[in-house]
Chain A
C-alpha cells in the first residue's frame, strides 16, 4: 500500500483516493479518517437559563416516543394479532423500523394509508377497505385497531367504522368470516401521552374487549409492561419454579425473538404470543400482576374493578427488594411455597453483590429511561451501595417519583429528579456533575462518549448492541446479569489493568 498510513493506520480521504490497488476486503469507515468540522468556528455556550426543561418550551432529545408505538408493542405480543393503524404510512413504517432495530425481527403492522383525501373526507373508506384486505389475505385471529394523531384530530368514529366494516365483510363473504377474528380498538393520540401510556391503554382495551369471568382458576395474570423477551422468559422461569399457572398478556417472548426454522408458513406469523382464549380467561384468575405500573397497570385495575381480580401493581421486580416483593405476593396469592431454587437464585445474587461491593459502593450513577424501569434501576443501584445522582424519566409519572423517593429516602440519598424532562437536560447534569456510570438506553451513547462516562445499556430502546432483547434484567437472575454488566463496566473504565487481579 503506497499511500501513507497515518492516524493509527486510518486513511484520510486523500489517502483513500491515492491507493493504487484496492485491497480485496475493501476499505470501510472504520479505517477511514474524516476530520470533524465544528458547526461554527468558536465555541458558543448554550443559554444556561433555559437548560432545565421547566424553563423552556422546546423539547430537545425527548425520552419518549409516540403513543401508538406502545399499543403496537402490546399487540404484537398476541398470537396472530396484526395491528391496524388508522393513520398515514409513516405511523406504521417508523414503528416497524424501531421494532426491527431493537428486536432484529420482522414485525407486521398494517396501515390505512392516509393520503390528502383522507384528511379531508375522513378515514372511513380506508378503514373498511383496509380491514377487509387484512382479513382475507392474512386471516389474523385478532386485529388491534390503533388510532394516531391524525385520525383522532379528524375525529374518525372507529367504533362506528368497525360495525360497518363487519357488516360489509359478512355481506361479501358470509357471516363466518368474522367469527374467527376478534377486534380491540385502542385510542392513542400522541399529543396526550407517550408510548408507555399507549401500552397501558392497550392492556385495558384488550381486556375490556375480550376478558370474561366464568369459573375461577388457580392461576395468575401477568402484564409485564415494556420489558424484553428475555425478561418475560425470566418471569416464566420463576412461575415454573413456583409451579404457578399463568397468562402473560402481552407475551412478546416468542413473537419478538423467534427461531429461524425452515420451512416457514406463509404469510409469516411468529409461532408464539398470548392466545385469545387465555385472554378471555383472564377474568378467572387469582390475581393480576402488572410489573410496570405505568405500562399495564390500567389493565390490572380494569380486571379488579370489573371481575374483582386483585390487582398487584408494580414495582418492576428488579434487585432484591422488588423481586422479594413480587415473589412474596405470588406466594401469598397462590398459596404456593417459595421454591428452594428461587431462594438459591436469590442467594446467588446476594453472593454476587457481596463479592463486588468494593467496586460499586459510593459510585455516582445517572439513570434515565421509561418511568417503571428507571425507578426499579434506582432501587437496585441503591442496593449495590451506589448513589443515584440524577434520575430521569422521559414519561411523566407520579408512581415513578414515589418509587424513586422511597428508595432514595431509605438509603439516604437526594437525587436530582427529572420527571418527564428531556435527555438534553439530563445530559447537561451529567456533563456538570461528577458521575461514574450511566444506566440508560442507546440514546445515551453519545452523551456517554462526550462526557467520558461509561454507559450500561438498559431499557427502551437498545439498538446499538446485539442481544439485549434476549437478556433479562428482572428477577434474581436478571438482576445478577445487570450487576455483572455494571461491575464489568466499572472494571473496564475505573480500574487500571494491574488492579484487576486479586
Chain B
C-alpha cells in the first residue's frame, strides 16, 4: 500500500521503487513496507555489510576469545575497539596488570591478506596466524575466525583450518563465514553468526561433553539472556533485575560473555530474547534442538521492562516469583519516578524522529510515549517483516515509516517533520547537526546505560540535554 501524496518524498522521484519502502502504520491492519531486500545501488544507503553484522554486532561482544579477521588489514582495523560493546574480561598487559580496555575491544588481529595470497590462496596463512595468535595471547578461551569479501571470494576452506587448529590447541575454534557481500545488509551477518555458531557449538559439545553443564549444576531457574550486547554496560541493570527475581543467569548471548558460558546456553530452562532481530535465529534453533523455550522481552522503558519481568515469572509459574516480580516493579518505579517526572514535564509534546537498525525502533515507541514525546517518523536500516509488525502494533496509527532510508530521505524527513530530536547513529548525526537537529546516539548511546528502569533515567537525561542544549538557540540567526 502506498502512502498518501503528502508523504511522497521528493528526493525519490527519480527512483520510484523507493516508495515501496514507505508506509503509514496501522495497528489493526499492519502495513509492512518492502524490506530485507537488496539496496538500490548509488542511493546513498546507510546500511553496512554482513561482516559488520557478524563481527561487529553479534561476535564482537564475546569477551575472552581471539577474534581473527581473515582479510586485508582494513576490515580488521575498522572493527578495532569502535563499537561500545563493553565487557569485564581483560587480557593481561603484563605480570601484574590488566589491559586498559576489555579484551574484545583491545586488539585487531588479522591475516593481512596480500596480493600473492589472493592469487595463491590464504589458508596456510590463516593456519599460521591462528597458531601465532594463540602463542601471543595464551590465556584466550578459543578462536573465532571471520571471513570477509576477500577471503570469501578466493574461496579459502576456513573450516578445515579451524578443525586442525582446534585439535592442536584444545579449545573451540569457530568460523563465521559472512563475507561483506552476502545478503542485503548487516542483518545477514547476524543470521550467519547465529546459525554457524549454533552448528559449531553443537558439534563441540558433542566432541567435548565436559563443556556442557553437569546435571547437578543445573538449577530450576537457570536462564540465558539472548541478543543483549552490553552497550555501555546495559547489563548492569538487566542482570540484577532477574537475579532479584530468583533466576540464575547462566549466560548472555553475547554481551561481554565468556566462551565457556556460551557453550552452556542449551542447558538453561529459558532463554529471554532481547534483540529479536539479530538473535531470534539461535533462540529458535535451541528451542528445536534442546526444547528450551524462549520468550521475547524488551528491556527499555517502564512498561516493557515490567512486562519482561512478569513474562519470566509467569513462565516459571511460581506464585512467589510472580509476587516478587510485582514487588520489584513497584520498587523500581518508585526509584525512578521523581527523575522521570522531571524529564516528562520538560519533554512533553516534543517531536522525535527515530532511525535505528530495526528492533530499537519498536522497543522505543513506548519509551517515547512514557516520556511524553511524539514520534513523528521512524526509519529502520535492516528490519524484517516481523519488526514492522511490531512497529505497527506499538506506535500511533499513521506514523510515517521508512525502510532502509538513504541519506537524502533522512534530510528530507528532517526538513518535513522538523523533529526536536533525532534518535540515530554516528554516521548520520553530523548530517543532522548541519541541519540544526540534535541527536542522541542510539547505537552506542551518549552516556549510558539506557536499559531497564534505572537506565531510562540516563536515556531521558540525554534526550533532555539534546533538546535543551543552548547551542540550538544560536543556530538560526
Contacts and interface: CB of A to CB of B under 8 A. Distances in A.
B103 to A, nearest CB: 5
A132 B43 CA distance: 10
A134 B42 contact: yes
A354 interface: no
Nearest to B109: A60
A5 interface: no
B220 to A, nearest CB: 23
Contacts of A29: 232-233, 447-449
Interface string A114-158: 111011000001110111111011100000000011100110000
A336 to B, nearest CB: 38
A7 interface: no
A20 B77 contact: no
A215 interface: no
A62 B232 CA distance: 26
A191 B153 CA distance: 13
A150 B153 contact: yes
B77 A91 contact: no
Contact of B476 (A64, A108, A262): A262
A2 to B, nearest CB: 11
A442 to B, nearest CB: 9
Interface string A20-42: 11111111111010111111100
B64 interface: yes
Interface in B89-116: 89-103, 106-115
A262 B475 CA distance: 7
A266 interface: yes
Given A34-B88, A38-B139, A94-B52, A111 B45 contact: yes
Interface stretch (B195-203, B270-278, B353-361, B430-438): B430-438
Contacts of B476: 262
Contacts of A258: 434
A472 to B, nearest CB: 22
B88 A35 contact: yes
Given A46-B138, A192-B114, A137 B108 contact: no
B414 to A, nearest CB: 10
B49 A190 contact: no
Interface residues of A, number: 110
B1 interface: no
A415 to B, nearest CB: 24
B327 interface: no
A57 interface: yes
Interface stretch (B129-137, B289-297, B390-398): B129-137
A24 B42 contact: no
A431 B179 CA distance: 36
Contacts of B76: 59, 62
Nearest to B79: A94
B40 A113 contact: yes
A90 B48 contact: yes
Given A51-B136, A129-B41, A96 B181 contact: no
A8 interface: no
A450 B42 contact: no
A88 B149 contact: yes
A39 B430 contact: no
Nearest to B432: A106
A111 B40 CA distance: 9
B51 interface: yes
Contacts of B239: 13
A81 to B, nearest CB: 14
A24 B339 contact: yes
Interface in B386-409: 407-408
A89 B110 contact: no
Contacts of B15: 133, 137
A268 interface: yes
Interface string B56-82: 000000011000100111111110111
Contacts of B431: 106, 268
A446 B181 contact: no
Nearest to A47: B135
A57 B111 contact: yes
B233 A32 contact: yes
A69 B72 CA distance: 13
A478 B395 CA distance: 53
Given A22-B336, A26-B461, A264-B434, A97 B427 contact: yes
Contacts of B71: 149
A191 B38 contact: no
Interface in A42-94: 43-47, 50-51, 56-62, 64-69, 84, 87-91, 93-94
Nearest to B454: A22
B140 interface: yes
Contacts of A27: 454, 457-458
B426 A446 contact: no
A65 B109 contact: no
A110 interface: yes
Interface in A412-437: 424, 431
A468 interface: no
A260 interface: yes
A127 B338 contact: no
* Residue among B71, B89, B93, B239 with the highest chain A CB neighbour number at 10 A: B93
B72 A450 contact: no
Contacts of B95: 43
* Residue among B117, B150, B477 with the highest chain A CB neighbour number at 10 A: B150
B454 A16 contact: yes
Interface string A435-474: 0000000010110011000000000000000000000000
A5 B226 CA distance: 32
B82 A101 contact: yes
A191 B114 contact: yes
B15 to A, nearest CB: 6
B411 A26 contact: no
B41 A113 contact: yes
B108 A36 contact: no
B367 interface: no
B145 to A, nearest CB: 12
A380 B435 CA distance: 41
A39 B408 contact: no
B181 A116 contact: yes
Contacts of B82: 97, 101
Contacts of B475: 260, 262
A266 B237 contact: no
A24 B78 contact: no
Contact of B72 (A96, A98, A149): A149
A216 B465 CA distance: 56
A194 interface: yes
A154 B75 CA distance: 18
Interface in B212-262: 232-233, 236-237, 239-241, 244
A28 B447 contact: yes
B181 A114 contact: yes
Given A28-B458, A58-B132, A264-B434, A149 B149 contact: yes
B448 A100 contact: no
Contacts of B426: 97, 100-101
A174 interface: no
B41 A112 contact: yes
Interface of B: 11, 14-15, 38-52, 63-64, 68, 71-78, 80-82, 88-103, 106-115, 117-118, 125, 128-129, 132-133, 135-141, 148-150, 152-154, 179-185, 232-233, 236-237, 239-241, 244, 331, 334-336, 338-339, 342-343, 407-408, 411-412, 415, 426-431, 433-436, 447-449, 454, 457-458, 460-461, 475-477
Shortest beta-carbon contacts, A-B, top 3:
A66-B74, A90-B49, A130-B42
26 contacts: A20-B334, A26-B460, A36-B90, A37-B90, A40-B141, A59-B109, A59-B111, A59-B112, A62-B77, A69-B74, A88-B180, A89-B185, A90-B50, A98-B78, A100-B427, A105-B430, A106-B431, A107-B427, A112-B41, A119-B152, A119-B181, A133-B15, A134-B42, A153-B154, A266-B408, A449-B100
Given A58-B129, A64-B73, 4 more contacts: A34-B233, A50-B135, A65-B77, A91-B49
